[in-house]
């Protein structure tokens, strides 16, 4: 194996290696970044380590088939992905407005990939090479593998495998899946005959042999018009995403049969260690330097991923459908070795930005039962309350952090991935909680209470708000004990299914009471592969079968958002309108508990109006952090406290 810094990106690169043809051409909608936080980098290096020749076709010109002929016809086939995120999410906001930047493209400039990228790429490949094997992978393919509600078209679309005319679709984490497919193709097995590999979806004719027991069968023609049936189908899909207990699932498309085989088992510790020991260049390809680089690398340049999977299972998160609900982690030695590589980088300043993953403080399966019986299909590990079988232990994570801190050249190790605060509170041993506050918070700790209403939190699959309140109280107590000034940055979401205008008012009152003025609020975004998206489309919770209120009206969604930023002058008219609609005129006025001032006639402002024009900001004195201190009034336009700056939510 040739250990070049980067894999070939052009025919000239390929020929310089002495190749006449690659085994695989990997087409991606992202810029080429050879870093283990990028799926293309991991899969290409895993295949390379197994002896396969992989060429990278990054962000090809999709307006014709010519760009897809760059390397000629590959010996084994094309691998196709839209990149690290769904192409529609990359292009559009929750309000369906076109984004002005693309963090996975050179210089952050948009327009380098098409909408519904995997479909477009596959159709261009078919134009160029006809029946060449095409295997889909990555997040967009994984989350659209079944018939799925599409927010942008506002309808139920067919499986992306059907529309893309590809041969196979891989879902979840693809290392072992693609190694198995590659081995079969290398032996001469026709791609149409590869139908028993776990973690794949294939398309055949009705009556073809399914190699695994089937959990359920559904017809697309029914799913696209029957919302109750669509919700039921998602429930079956959700309960069969575990490699131990999961069964096959079938969908019919006018004489064709789509089959999802059960999931591939997750990589165990030794396998993960081997993956992360591969020779990544750890940066973007130098061809992007003159274009301003690739912005997405900045989030991960000095960070390490120590785990995979998440048993938190929030309903609005696609992790349960992609990485799965069972957690695996790398060995301490493996993570430390990667950190040593980071410390040797020329621009390293002594700070490890994150030691995390989907949820930073998970290191293993939620309970021993998951190893033999799989995850529970009818309850969550943490919500609404922690399961009695939950294993809560931060000791290995503490050891990992301490080993990294001891490395020469490391000044500080931060944790910036999400901390599951209910899991942290369930640990009777406070060593990690205290160490987190003392050593690993970079001024602000991001947490995700999301809302305060019991009904909304239940629809989200989150714990009761009282759990967050207990966490916040203890966080600030420990902060004072260690003599630091630190803040919480709570993520909040407006207009999630289950959230009424009254719920949004309650959250605004909560923010007022806690003296917190969020600069950013996440509007609920219905993306493929989540239970919340099914609720948004059907008005049914697919995990319980119960009806759920859904705020679909654009005006109501704007009112809910305005309530969460009630302190902004430009939101005052919308806040007043929302409070009137919710019959909460008692919150319009100049009293301390009010959210917005009355709409005074134009002219000289009254004393009450002046008071209403001010924002509440937290005290900045030592030991009195945000959310745990009496607020002082700061005139609008004053310098913003770092305590109230909310970093951009990761997508």
Helix (H, G, I), strand (E, B) or coil at 155: strand
| The token pair that represents 531 in the structure block | 């239970």
Q: For 130-169, where are the alpha helices, taking DSSP H only? A: 138-143, 160-164
Phi, psi (rounded to 5 degrees) for 454: -60, -40
Positive or negative: CA dihedral 628, 629, 633, 636: negative
| Helices 572-581, 554-564: inter-axial angle, 10-degree rounding | 110
- Quote the CA–CA distance of 148 and 642 in Å, as a whole number: 41
Mean pLDDT by groups of 10 residues along the chain of 651 residues: 73 96 98 97 98 98 96 98 96 94 96 96 97 97 98 97 97 97 98 97 96 97 98 97 96 97 97 97 96 95 96 93 94 98 96 96 95 92 95 97 98 94 96 97 92 96 96 96 92 96 96 87 94 98 96 93 94 96 96 90 51 38 36 32 36 39
- Quote the CA–CA distance of 544 and 459 in Å, as a whole number: 10
- Quote the CA–CA distance of 300 and 306 in Å, as a whole number: 13
Among 468, 447, 446, smallest CA distance to 457 is for 468
- Quote the CA–CA distance of 145 and 32 in Å, as a whole number: 25
CATH class of 11-197: alpha beta
Torsion of CA 347, 353, 358, 362, to 10 degrees: 130
- Quote the CA–CA distance of 458 and 363 in Å, as a whole number: 26
Q: Which residue has the tokens 């160490």?
A: 435
Among 40, 281, 338, smallest CA distance to 175 is for 40
- Quote the CA–CA distance of 100 and 79 in Å, as a whole number: 28
CATH class of 445-651: alpha beta
Q: For 22-157, where are the alpha helices, taking DSSP H only? A: 39-49, 87-91, 117-129, 138-143
The pairing of strands 33-34 and 24-28 is unpaired
Amino acid 602: pLDDT: 58
Measured CA distances, 169 to 191, 230, 260, 553 (Å): 11, 21, 9, 36
Q: Would you say 522 and 493 are in contact if contact means Cβ atoms under 8 Å apart?
A: yes
> Measured over all CA atoms, what is the biggest interatomic distance in the chain, rounded to whole angstroms?
84
Phi, psi (rounded to 5 degrees) for 205: -100, 155
The architecture of the domain spanning 302-442 is 2-Layer Sandwich (3.30)
Give the count of beta carbons closer than 10 Å to the beta carbon of residue 194. 18
> In terms of C-beta density within 10 A (0-12 exposed, 13-18 middle, 19 or more buried), how is residue 51 classed?
exposed
Query: Is there a shared CATH topology between the 302-442 domain and the 445-651 domain?
Result: yes
Q: Which residues pair with 249 in a beta bridge?
A: 216, 260
Measured CA distances, 154 to 224, 256, 553, 600 (Å): 11, 24, 14, 41
Report the number of secondary-structure helices (H) and strands (E) in the chain.
23, 24
Domain ranges, ordered by start, for the chain: 11-197, 302-442, 445-651
Please state the separation of Cα 222 from the chain's center in Å. Answer: 30
Amino acid 519: pLDDT: 79
Torsion of CA 280, 283, 285, 288, to 10 degrees: 170
């Amino acid at each position: 194996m040739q250990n070049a810094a980067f894999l070939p990106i052009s025919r000239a690169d390929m020929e310089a290696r002495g190749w006449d043809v690659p085994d695989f051409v990997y087409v991606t909608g992202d810029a080429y970044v050879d870093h283990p936080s990028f799926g293309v980098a991991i899969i290409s290096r895993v295949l390379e380590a197994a002896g396969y020749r992989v060429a990278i076709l990054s962000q090809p010109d999709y307006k014709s088939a010519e760009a897809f002929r760059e390397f000629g016809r590959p010996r084994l086939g094309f691998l196709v992905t839209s990149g690290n995120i769904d192409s529609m999410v990359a292009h559009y906001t929750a309000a369906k407005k076109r984004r002005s930047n693309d963090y996975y493209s050179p210089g952050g400039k948009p327009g380098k990939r098409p909408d519904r990228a995997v479909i477009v790429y596959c159709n261009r490949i078919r134009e160029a090479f006809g029946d060449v094997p095409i295997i889909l992978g990555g997040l967009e393919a994984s989350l659209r593998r079944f018939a799925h509600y599409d927010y942008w078209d506002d309808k139920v679309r067919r499986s992306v495998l059907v529309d893309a005319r590809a041969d196979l679709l891989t879902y979840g984490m693809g290392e072992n899946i693609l190694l198995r497919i590659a081995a079969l193709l290398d032996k001469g097995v026709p791609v149409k005959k590869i139908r028993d590999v776990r973690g794949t979806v294939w398309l055949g004719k009705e009556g073809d042999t399914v190699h695994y027991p089937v959990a359920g069968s559904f017809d697309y023609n029914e799913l696209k018009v029957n919302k109750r049936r669509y919700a039921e189908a998602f429930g079956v899909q959700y309960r069969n995403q575990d490699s131990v207990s999961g069964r096959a699932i079938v969908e019919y498309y006018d004489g064709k049969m789509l089959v999802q085989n059960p999931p591939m088992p997750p990589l165990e510790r030794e396998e993960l260690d081997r993956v992360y020991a591969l020779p990544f260049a750890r940066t973007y390809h130098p061809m992007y330097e003159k274009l301003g680089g690739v912005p997405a690398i900045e989030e991960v340049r000095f960070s390490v991923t120590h785990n995979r999977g998440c048993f938190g299972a929030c309903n609005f998160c696609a992790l349960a459908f992609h990485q799965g609900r069972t957690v695996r982690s790398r060995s301490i030695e493996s993570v430390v070795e990667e950190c040593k590589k980071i410390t040797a980088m020329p621009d390293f300043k002594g700070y490890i930005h994150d030691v995390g993953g989907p949820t930073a403080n998970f290191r293993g399966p939620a309970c021993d039962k998951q190893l033999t019986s799989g995850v529970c299909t009818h309850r969550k590990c943490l919500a609404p309350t922690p399961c009695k079988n939950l294993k809560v232990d931060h000791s290995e994570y503490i050891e990992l952090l301490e080993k990294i801190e001891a490395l020469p050249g490391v000044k500080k190790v931060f944790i910036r991935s999400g901390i599951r605060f209910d899991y942290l509170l369930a640990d009777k041993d406070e060593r990690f909680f205290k160490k987190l506050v003392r050593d690993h918070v970079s001024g602000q700790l991001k947490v995700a209470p999301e809302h305060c209403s019991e009904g909304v939190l239940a629809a989200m699959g989150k714990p009761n708000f009282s759990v967050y309140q207990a966490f916040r109280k203890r966080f600030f107590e420990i902060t004072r004990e260690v003599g630091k000034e630190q803040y919480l940055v709570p993520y909040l979401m407006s207009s999630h299914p289950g959230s009424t205008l009254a719920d949004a008012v309650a959250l605004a009152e909560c923010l007022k009471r806690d003296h917190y003025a969020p600069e950013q609020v996440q509007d609920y975004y219905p993306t493929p592969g989540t239970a919340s998206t099914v609720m948004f489309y059907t008005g049914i919770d697919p995990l319980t079968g119960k009806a759920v209120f859904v705020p679909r009206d654009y005006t109501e969604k704007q009112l809910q958002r305005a309530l969460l930023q009630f302190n902004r002058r430009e939101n005052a008219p919308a806040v007043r309108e929302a409070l009137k609609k919710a019959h909460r005129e008692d919150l319009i006025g100049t009293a301390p508990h009010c959210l917005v001032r009355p709409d005074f006639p134009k002219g000289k402002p009254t004393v009450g109006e002046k008071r209403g024009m001010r924002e509440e900001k937290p005290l900045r004195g030592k030991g009195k952090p945000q959310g745990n201190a009496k607020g002082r009034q700061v005139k609008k336009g004053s310098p913003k406290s770092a305590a109230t700056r909310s970093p951009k939510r990761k997508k």
